[in-house]
Structure 1
Amino acid sequence: VRNGVLYIALLLSIGFVMSLDRIPQNPEWSRFADQRSWLGIPNFGDIFSNLPFIVIGFMGLRFLFRPGEGKAFEFSWEKVAPMIFFTGVFLTGFGSAWFHLSPDNYRLVWDRLPMTLAFMGLFCQLISDHVSARAGYILAFPLAGLGMVSVIWWYWTEVTGTGDLRLYLLVQFTPLLAVVLILLLFPSRYSHGNMYWGVLLCYTLAKIFEHFDAGIFEALGFVSGHSLKHLFAAGSAGIIFQMLAHRQTSSSKRV
């Protein structure tokens, strides 16, 4: 029954998004509120706030490649999904910084490509932890590939004048719906599973800050909503790192 609820919800969300009319990229989207320069670097706040992605991504990868972390994973191949996740987080720091140096759609491709790795890596890790270890492993590379295809498809539609974000939005937001359902329906195979709720909260706040970029910058004066978005999104990755570093296997096995 639980699997059926999850499958139906995912199919409905996919059907809903793909039934919508084309969603072009808003040309105003890349006009960020904080355009201040410092040390000759334009848009310094939105660039520097990407540093936590690089730090946390590196820490996560170092943790995964370090021997003797048996408590964090029941099966060694379960590391594949978090490796994809932390690789995406690490590369997002560089891709986003490069994009913010001179925002345009081409540079946005290199911001979004690693983000999709992070989205799909985390989604598959959640599947592995809560639903099926084998399913999370099997889906990791195909879904990571789908994520990158969604960005390439979006950019191609922009270049050809038929801009369409639907597939990219599906890749970004369908896992969020699945996260809620999986956390409610499936207990974790590991301790500290409730920390996923913190990840969800942090990322939700990040998207809110992103939406109110200019209003937050006007109100605070020293930091923009988009910079806060970077910090809180990186914070959600930091929660994943802490969860993996402290968790232990439970007696519930779902291979």
Structure 2
Amino acid sequence: MSDAGLPASVEALHRVQQDPHRLGHRAHGARDPRPGTGQGATGPAAKRILVGYGFWIYLLSDIVIFSCFFAAFAVQRHATAGGPTVGDIVDIPRVGWETAVLLLSSYTCMLSFAASNARNLLWTQILLLLTGLLGLVFVLLELQEFVDLASRGITPQRSAMLTSFFGLVGLHGVHVTAGGLWLATMMAQIQVKGFRPEINHRLICFNLFWHALDIVWIGIFTIVYLMGAVA
């Protein structure tokens, strides 16, 4: 019996049986796209999947950039040109506070996402505010470190090691600052628009971004500061 003589629902079932694994191959005489191939009635992937996938690509590109800065520091860490070494510029207590503050902000960021999933506006805003304030404290501590080094004549142009040091640590600080601005924007959007699907998609992306910055900072704290202090 041909497909033409079947009702639409039976015809669709018959075609799926002809292609049980839904590989998208067309049966003889079939002119419409197969179910499950992202075409026709099934449509493309959901927007949440597309947004998440695209943002992961951005994060991977950002990791590549940080990897280049890590590699530059690893190569130049002994190129001091007779100036201060890494051990001379490391302030472990201050960096310890920076690390604690940033990790705590990651925890509050995770709690804010849980509150947004529960559609609790008050706690979402409170936890996002705490995340932003902790990020601000981190940036201020980092700026204090840079100002203190500059007051002692330790600037990026003094040696290749210092150039790579300021470049790597400063790049991370710029990302945290941009994340804080993004966070303020998200808080305003949640307050005005509520928990719309597109807002939730942006919150997912922000959480990915903020946690990625924490991972990068753990690398900086270990490779630059702890290993530099031991050396």
Q: Shorter-chain TM-score: which interval? A: 0.3 to 0.5
For normalisation by structure 2, the TM-score amounts to 0.40
For normalisation by structure 1, the TM-score amounts to 0.36
Higher helix share: 2
